[in-house]
Amino acid sequence: MKKVSYWFLGLLVSYLIFHVLQSRGLGPTWLRWYAKDLIVVPVVFLGAFLAMNEFNKSRHFRRRDVLALVIYTSLLFEWFLPKVGSKYHSDGMDVLMYIIGGLISVCFLPSLNNVNLKIRNVENSLKGSNA
């Protein structure tokens, strides 16, 4: 679980650094405009995993969960928000970055599901010893 937390914290700090670079106009253009889009899906995915485990809602994550997050992120940031706010603009390259971020998240799935399995085994053994 600690390893997952460290990955989440590292990605979250990276996201914030990229946000500061973008807002100040620092660094290469591709880094300012696409790095945040690349890591937003893994950040949200790992954050959801940690939150669910914090509230003892162990869950087996699947590829379709990641796919749903990629679709939701793409629709929200590349279709809906550009229609309602002038601050946002639609960019197909952003969608590609969300997809690549989703593929990165899929790489985390086996280790996350193993963590959930271990948590469930510990919970079941604790329940068994209390009965």
pLDDT of residue 123: 57
Instruction: Write out pLDDT tens, residues 20-62.
Output: 998 999 989 888 889 999 999 999 988 888 888 778 776 677 8
The number of distinct structural domains making up the chain is 1
CA 57 to chain centre: 18
Around Cβ 57, how many Cβ atoms within 10 Å? 9
Confidence label for 82 from pLDDT (cuts 50, 70 and 90): very high
Q: Cα–Cα–Cα angle for 93, 74, 35, nearest 5°?
A: 45
Q: Residue 63's domain spans which residues?
A: 2-130
Residues sharing a CB contact under 8 Å with residue 56, sequence separation 6 or more, in sequence order:
123
CA 41 to chain centre: 4
Residue 102 · residue 1 · CB < 8 Å: no
